[in-house]
Structure 1
């Protein structure tokens, strides 16, 4: 059996089968060196020059991520999801027109509104799940990047990646996909035509709420990808070796966690849809979800670990519900083994597209009956 014949599940479980050459340990060591010895001819035959762009532990993590996304050009790890995402926009030229999903990760949306314009970028927010709106916003020759998030946080709308790629490419633009809330277990955007995929690796890729990291994966090693590499190298948006080591640990169990989390999220969505104190459940796995058919086509092995509920009693009842959970943790972030609950509108503030009666739920690996009972009791207490 060759490595090429193995499934991504097996390759991730063994972190690509890397073994420490000195001890033969099945868990490779953490490489912390910041500088490397030159050859006698003053060259660097090992390919390692300096710790900022060159670290073996980081490269090992990148190899697993590139494999999971089937990224021919490879993967680049950054010190955070925001560092990874903003590097893509910084690689553009002043005056470039950019289309971004109206509903998306709030911190990046704020950065695009407040900082990207200072770079001279022309940012336009569109309901990218509406392909007619996306087509109408495209400016052939001017639009250089279409940035979509699917499923989009926290409303979980679904954008057709393949169709969006066709629209972007026809206008000479690139398509980048924030796939944080899908993970490569459920969606592979590059295989659907995207040029770049981004993950906040802090979330489900790591899965243990103890690492802040971001990653970009690319389909083609072109001039734009080389520009992003240069930005990371020169601006120093790197990930440390210890964090990369922890990320590798998390990636080993990604498939197991995602299968459990997606199954539990689906079960919760179905049961909460019948709850008298829940006005609406937002989850692409539900047949009544507007993007269900597209999600069923472009997602596999489940519909992800994130869902939101809108509480019948409005904002006050939603806040009281979050205050009365016992098993769920009231905390920002998502994708960890522990389930989290958050009232997003109060976090995002003025201008948020998030309804005030909405609670965002990140499904962990706890017993699904315990999770439902906790929400049931909290909803009743918050009514």
Structure 2
């Protein structure tokens, strides 16, 4: 396949050709734990790294390889590695890039479990971290220490939708020889490509838009440098062992084929729902990069293909009013996660970000009245009708 094919083509064809496997149009599922060797000498050669060939699915599997090659192509990276979950992917890249007493600089808002991991790294290995506003170069530079090994960024930030200028961060990081890791879960490679903007690693909770159907837990790391990714595969992934199963890799390959059409529909629906939410009397602040009044709307247009399918909004009232809306929805499902075909709604302060202390949550902009909405693929009119009746029902 041509390297310059558009992403809509890559999601279907990259990393695989039917001639590789007896003409099978769909990549086969190699549901096996181990592989036999034709001879003892070949087994020795494979273990020594002198010849290609599979050994054991923790070290490599043909189905997983197709997924990894496809994801690397979609993110324009050197190589990709698949993991059992998004947090396994985040853990792997941070273990790979840090050592005891290093420092990690983070955007001022991160997923609750990522926050929990950072706390664990600090308690057990002395790897410190700071959450900072990355709005400008000087603020970022002033927060860098001699021990800073990684700049870790979410953009859009979960759940406040705040954006970080990735080109700016990559520029400053390169001045200090620091690696930049970007959680690209909210966008997928269809909407945003951090490596093309100068960043070093991309992580995904592939459970979300990559899979797209709510039936698999998985994670991905894509790196700009193929050799560094090989080091990660040979150390952190091999020895810690958070390797995706062949069946889950196969499910992700199936989901990826419709990534472009799904994301366009997610975005179309989100634009309509955001417009309706903005004018509802029970809605206070709305956080959506596609809104022209969103403070970083220009940045969204610069580094994102489209604004995405995620919306957060504050309810006028108190925590009980936000929870009442969640209890009143019918078509929309009260559930965490995002990027599914179904529209999902949740309360970050008591759910996805509940592990973060209240004071830290409030600094991140996560109030008790904030609701996060993952807009699905249903008819947008039906999504809005359900959301409207729930909003109308609070006093």
Give the aligned partner of residue 326 of structure 1. Answer: 330
1:87/1:228 contact within 8 Å kept: no
Q: 2:90 aligns with which of 85, 91, 96?
A: 85
The partner residue of 1:216 within 221, 227, 236 is 221
Partner of 1:31: 30
Q: Count how many residue pairs are aligned between Structure 1 and Structure 2.
A: 379
Aligned CA RMSD, in angstroms, stands at 1.7
Instruction: Give CA deviations for 1:25-56 in whole Å, capped at 9, x if unaligned.
Output: 31122102222233433333442122211111
| Correspondence for 1:67 among 61, 73, 88 | 73
Higher mean C-alpha deviation, range 125-134 or range 202-211 = 125-134
Select the residue among 97, 103, 114 that pairs with 1:108.
Answer: 114
Q: Contact 1:89/1:116 (CA < 8 Å) preserved in 2?
A: no
1:122 matched to 2:128? The reply is yes
Spell out the pairing of 1:1-383 with structure 2 (5 A cutoff).
3-14=2-13, 16-19=15-18, 21=20, 23-40=22-39, 41-42=41-42, 43-44=45-46, 45-72=51-78, 74-91=79-96, 92-139=98-145, 141-223=146-228, 226-227=231-232, 229-300=234-305, 302-347=306-351, 348-349=353-354, 350-351=357-358, 352-353=361-362, 354-383=366-395
* 1:261 Cα offset (Å): 0.2
Q: Relative to 1, partners in 2 of residues 1:222 and 1:19: Cα closer, same or farther, differing over 3 Å?
A: closer
* CA–CA distance in structure 2, aligned partners of residues 321 and 133 of structure 1: 38
Runs of 4+ in 1 over 6 A off after TM superposition: none
Please report how far the alpha carbon of residue 184 of structure 1 lies from its aligned counterpart in structure 2 after TM superposition. Answer: 0.6
Q: 1:133: Cα distance to partner?
A: 2.7
Of the structure 1 ranges 32-41 and 141-150, higher mean CA displacement relative to structure 2 is found in 32-41
Within 1, Cα distance between the matches of 2:307 and 2:230?
30
Cα distance in structure 2, aligned partners of 1:115 and 1:20: 46
TM-score computed with the length of structure 2 as normaliser: 0.92
- Relative distance call for 1:117 and 1:228 in structure 2 (3 A) is farther
Kept after mapping to 2: 8 A contact 1:218/1:225? no
Q: Give the match's secondary structure for 2:119.
A: helix
Are the structure 2 counterparts of residues 104 and 366 from structure 1 closer, same or farther at C-alpha, using a change threshold of 3 Å?
same
CA contact (8 A) 2:92 2:236 kept: yes
Unaligned runs of 5+ in 1: none
Displacement after TM superposition at 1:363 (Å): 0.9
Does the 8 Å CA contact 1:343/1:360 hold for their aligned counterparts? yes
Partner of 1:47, secondary structure, is coil
Q: Structure 2: any 5+ residue segments left out of the alignment?
A: none
State the TM-score, normalizing by the size of structure 1: 0.94
Deviation at 1:224, TM superposition (A): 7.2
CA distance in structure 1 between the aligned counterparts of 2:90 and 2:348, rounded to whole angstroms: 21
